Chains A and B, each alone.
Chain A
Amino acid sequence: MTTLAWTGAIRDRDRLLRLLQEYGVYAALAVLFLVAVALDGSFVSSGNVRIQLFQVAPTLLVALGMALVIGTEGIDLSVGAVVALAAAVVPLYLGYGLAPALLLALLLGAATGAVGGAMVAFARVQPIVATLSLMIGVRGLAEIVNGNSAKPVTDAALLGLGSDSFSGVPLMAWIAALCALVVGFVVRRTTFGRRLVAIGDNRQASRLAGLPVRRVLLTVYVVSGVLAALAGVMIVGHGAEADPANQGLNLELNAITAVVVGGTPLTGGRVRVLGTVAGALFMQLITAVLTQHDVPNSYTQIVEAAIICCAVYASQERGTR
């Protein structure tokens, strides 16, 4: 009889872990939100919510691209540097208007992604190595372009992009949400999305099934670069200055954290878009709560580390079913 109790407990534990893996991030987000409100009712004031949304939007954009790359069993460390590159070139071309400057930034993001993607897809460099070299090189390039100092930005359109709101919600957050919807749709419903996931799960079988493996890989890194560049332009607009030496620093790591906390496995073969959104919000919220209650930054980092460990543990594939 103890046998039955034992195995029953085991099964419950497995089921719990599976549930946690699937829905844990949403539950954690909800709990954290309630705790934040309970601690300080003004947390839900429209002003504070907007501040949080302004801050999370660029991270989320980068994380969406990262989720796609991670879905192919890759990683893109160059995104923070792409933000810097976008920040460096945008002020130089604002004279022609926001649209050309934005377009150029996106093109450069795409180009960086293409270089990384080509290294991964054609030269078969490991993603971490390929994008690490870009991360270093592209930031250097950005600092050269910019001349190594922060430049104030005064263009009204760009400042508007960074600080305007629509129906009380920051424009940046609208754009990030729209991108999340598009990426979610792409993953679920398009040939590109299905192929991406298949390649992440079993590359050799995908190749033998006639999938354009190299094209898909290349595209994924290009998309990641473009999203990072868009995030870069937003960051410049929001901060009203272009500072390639500091903007986008560690953003690649924050993006990876959001993806992982959102339950996307680093082993590829699965992309959780909504989870990534929740992951980004969760990390934003926890930092905000700790900061607003005067917890020193050093402690905040330790808490974040603990959360990442928990998330990775919960999202591990269980060996037995």
Chain B
Amino acid sequence: MVQQAPVPVPDSVLEVAGVDKSFAGVHALIGVHFTLRQGEVHALIGENGAGKSTLIKVMTGVYRPDAGRIRFAGRDREFRNPLEAQAAGISTIYQEVNLVPLMSVARNLYLGREPRRLGLVDVRRMNRDAAAELRRFGVDTDVTRPLRTLGLGAQQMVALARAVQVDARVVIMDEPTSSLEPREVDTLFEVIRRLKDHGIAVVYVSHRLDELYAVCDRVTVMRDGAVVHTGEIAGLERLKLISLMLGREPATVREEGATAFDADRDAATEGRPALRATQLNVRHRLHGVSLDIRPGEVVGLGGLLGAGRSETAKAIIGALAADGGSVEVDGTVLRRRSPAAAMRAGVVMLAEDRKAEGIIPSLSVRENIALAALPRLSRAGLVSQAKQDELVRFFMDRLRIKASGPDQRVGDLSGGNQQKVLLARWLCLQPKVLLLDEPTRGIDVGAKAEVQALINELAGDGLGVLLISSELEELIEGSDRVVVLKDGRVVGELAGDQVSEDALLGALAQDGQDRQVGQVGQVGQDRQVGQDRQDHDKEPQS
């Protein structure tokens, strides 16, 4: 398949050779070799902290390597900044969309290279072209709307369309599907195949193995800053891939199952609920949602994007002002509804958006863990350093938080470790009920397994858990019971043997008056309504 030709191999468009990079003495990349061939889709995988992001940043000029070289299009290159890399033909699509939220969709698409007429931006042509262009990416929308009113998935498509337009030879996608619906993923794959046909090489970073097998040609596995495997993906056993990533034997992985949840755990199905939410109403978003969580029980919350899962959790802790309904903890009705009041009653929520609603980025690991527990660690407003250190040490050990020490800035940790810091923040309050909104999203396989095992263990200790997850596997294996939401209403509940993928899909599909499940994921107005609702959550509530 590779044509024999003079060295270097002519079809390698981007070549990273022997690259080292370290930060403050920590080696992030050690002698990394990575070759990207023209027109291939190359998966780049590894746990968080394995060095994927650093490698990407080295390839795109964000970081400069300490040693080694980068060849692009047959020449040694040193990109001094991302702009240079982009100008040379390396486009990157990050997890977080890097566009201008208040500008129109069309403006964003043509930012910096607007079509002009008589020296002025030709708005009409720009809008027309943008609409046509985006339709090819499955986004059918009014391009004059501000970008932020689009769903995240659609925003990502805009970013992709923009990246492809600027004559890219290499497109790097960092977890492009993390905020996409299944239907959008299909569109993305079509786009990727089209890129391939045009000879554009794609680096594809994702934690979702299914996708890798569906769309990638070759795979590079990284672990602890080094490349541990590169090769064709077809024929590579999935288990082998996981074991390469984790550095563990395939047999161990097989034994432990796909998720780290313990299938045999007995859930308490009797007794007074630790939490009872009754008839929660939030205007336009929730309509009479009720649910119980008993001590030691993991209740899953199922539903599609925009069904009201995050809103339910937020309404329970009072982060979202409810128009009606009540919340009881251990039989006592919460009078005041605010995150602080819920916290005092023993109900805490791990927010979905780690960056915006979770971490305090420039504070240390210590301060982030102790933040909510400060009153317990202080007397007369003075923080006891001894108590605080003891607590922080305990949780850093227990959750195996990988940091250079308690003084490290949380913003510099990997996603998985940030999530653990946030879990520690809540667990040190010794809550009765834990609401987990996408606890394993965007974290690596290892940390994911650890978090899942922890959820299991906590429920075993008698904690009531509400689990929100878009991964069916996680929801099914992790929950004792699943409450299914649709359009802000409870449409079903699965318990015992009913907790299965088929039953869940059935529950989602049952509502006759509404549209079919398969059509819900459309990248059009339908979903944007759901996304708009989610976006509202990001605004501070009083």
Measured CB to CB, the residues of A under 8 A from B are 3-4, 6-7, 10, 124, 189-192, 194-195, 197-198, 201-212, 269-270, 320-321
Which of the residues B67, B338, B372 comes within 8 Å of A4, measured between beta carbons?
Answer: B67
Q: How many residues of B contact A (CB 8 A)?
A: 45
Contacts of A208 in B (CB 8 A): 317, 319, 339, 349, 351, 357-358
| B375 interfacial by beta-carbon distance below 8 Å | yes
List which B339-372 residues lie within 8 A (CB) of chain A.
Answer: 339-340, 342-344, 349, 351, 356-363, 367, 370-372
**In the complex, what distance in Å separates the CA atom of A192 from the CA atom of B383?**
9
* A191-B383, A198-B371, A269-B362 known; A210-B67 Cβ under 8 A: no
State the Cβ distance, B343 to closest chain A Cβ, in Å.
4
**In the complex, what distance in Å separates the CA atom of A90 from the CA atom of B336?**
43
Contacts of B412 in A (CB 8 A): 321
Residue among B375, B382, B425 with max Cβ neighbours from chain A (10 Å): B382
* A4-B67, A198-B360 known; A209-B383 Cβ under 8 A: no
- Interface of chain A, main secondary structure: helix
State the Cβ distance, B80 to closest chain A Cβ, in Å.
9
**In the complex, what distance in Å separates the CA atom of A205 from the CA atom of B372?**
11
Instruction: Contact check, A194 vs B383: say whether CB atoms are below 8 A apart.
Output: yes
Residue of B nearest to A198 (CB): B360
Which of the residues A190, A203, A270 comes within 8 Å of B378, measured between beta carbons?
Answer: A190
* A7-B65, A191-B378, A208-B319 known; A197-B363 Cβ under 8 A: yes
* A207-B339, A210-B340 known; A3-B78 Cβ under 8 A: yes
**In the complex, what distance in Å separates the CA atom of A83 from the CA atom of B361?**
36
State the Cβ distance, A217 to closest chain B Cβ, in Å.
12
10 contacts between A and B (CB under 8 A): A4-B67, A195-B371, A201-B361, A202-B361, A205-B356, A207-B319, A207-B339, A210-B340, A211-B340, A212-B340
**In the complex, what distance in Å separates the CA atom of A209 from the CA atom of B360?**
10
Residue among A6, A191, A208 with max Cβ neighbours from chain B (10 Å): A208
Task: List 14 additional A-B contacts (Cβ < 8 Å) besides A190-B381, A194-B367.
Answer: A4-B67, A7-B66, A190-B383, A191-B378, A191-B383, A194-B383, A195-B374, A202-B361, A204-B538, A205-B360, A207-B319, A208-B319, A208-B339, A321-B24
State the Cβ distance, B56 to closest chain A Cβ, in Å.
14
Instruction: Contact check, A204 vs B361: say whether CB atoms are below 8 A apart.
Output: no
State the Cβ distance, B393 to closest chain A Cβ, in Å.
18
Contacts of A3 in B (CB 8 A): 65, 67, 69, 78
Contacts of B512 in A (CB 8 A): none
Which of the residues B339, B340, B374 comes within 8 Å of A191, measured between beta carbons?
Answer: B374
**In the complex, what distance in Å separates the CA atom of A209 from the CA atom of B344?**
11
State the Cβ distance, B96 to closest chain A Cβ, in Å.
15
| B62 interfacial by beta-carbon distance below 8 Å | yes
Residue among B78, B342, B360 with max Cβ neighbours from chain A (10 Å): B360
